[in-house]
Amino acid sequence: MRLDKFLSEMNLGTRSQVKKLIRQNMVTVNGIPAQNAEMKIDELTDRVCLRGNWLPYRRYAYYMLNKPEGVVSATRDNTSRTVISLLEGCGAKDIFPVGRLDKDTTGLLLLTNDGELAHRLLSPKKHVDKTYEVMLEHPLDREDIRRLESGVSIGGEGLTLPARVEVLKPGQIRLTIQEGRFHQVKRMMLAVGNGVRSLKRVSFGGLELDEGLAPGEYRELTEEEIRVLTAGAQPESEKPGDFCKKKIAAQDEENDTDETRNVTGY
């Protein structure tokens, strides 16, 4: 790959901007100042640095957004602001949200242009964990929790897969589910005669929401976070620590997912 292409793919500016960095001797390749923008590098093995800082090659871009209320999880929309508009300054091309959160749901949303990883994370067969903090209209009782954890009917697609409920305080829970059906959490609460006052996703596929991000803010994922996500999207048999595997396998065939519709890059 040409050095100027590499640098602009790393979001360091347009081709003419990165050429300027090279002319100013700010770029080194394997410790030697780069002489021209057209030089060929091996992006996987050569060590390219800008002002002495290593630029590890990333083929794809990965961002976490703390989604605010009132924006839609889509790449474009005729009437509402989209999550993509919040990342306009990031410089990455062709990014899309991995799955959907409702317009009034807040919290962790992954955006990427890596269609293959998105496809794996959203596959109904991968049972990727998603954890929500839910403010309820009423506290849950023991029977509600038992039903939510073992599976409830929310419509035509069979029972929900086993879930995990942690009561944070009366009327506030942390709910972990392994599917992404349409309005799933709201419909699960309706199934036990309750309602959702507010919904915030705090974790997705082992990735935790960075609470340092204010609603509407985003940041790139770290190498470690990408590794965790990739590991979380491994085939079921290779994932450690999942709960209720047997019950899940039994219900697997019946269920589909709404979130798979958002793999626009694949």
What is the separation, in whole angstroms, between the first and last Cα of the chain? 24
Binding mask 126-165 for ligand URA (x = CB under 6 A): ----------------------------------------
Separation of alpha carbons 69 and 75, rounded Å: 16
Distance in Å, CB of 248 to ligand URA, minimum: 18
For ligand URA, give the closer residue by CB, 164 or 183: 183
Query: Which C-beta is closer to ligand URA: that of 112 or that of 160?
Result: 160
* Between 147 and 186, CB nearer to ligand URA: 186
For ligand URA, the closer of residues 19 and 147 by Cβ is 147
Q: How far apart are CA 107 and CA 208, in angstroms?
A: 10
The 3-state DSSP composition of the chain as helix, strand, coil percent (nearest 5) reads: 25, 25, 50
- Residue 150 CB: number of other CB atoms within 10 A? 14
Per DSSP, the residues of 204-244 read: ETTEEP-TTSPTT-EEEPPHHHHHHHHHHTS-GGG-SS-S-
Among 10, 21, 161, 185, binds ligand URA (CB under 6 A): 185
| Nearest of 174, 121, 116, 184 to residue 145 by alpha carbon | 174
Let me know if 129 is a catalytic residue: no
Segment interacting with ligand URA, rule: CB under 6 A, options 38-46, 142-150, 179-187, 226-234: 179-187
Residues 91-130 that bind ligand URA (CB under 6 A): 101-102, 105
- Kindly state whether residue 173 participates in binding ligand URA, applying the rule CB under 6 A: no
Mask of contacts with ligand URA, 196-215, x by CB under 6 A? ---x----------------
* Collapsed DSSP state (helix, strand, coil) of residue 56: coil
d(CA 183, CA 2): 46
Query: One of 46, 77, 102, 210 is an active-site residue; which one?
Result: 102
Q: How far apart are CA 161 and CA 12, in angstroms?
A: 44
Question: Which residues bind to ligand URA, rule: CB under 6 A?
Answer: 101-102, 105, 183-186, 199
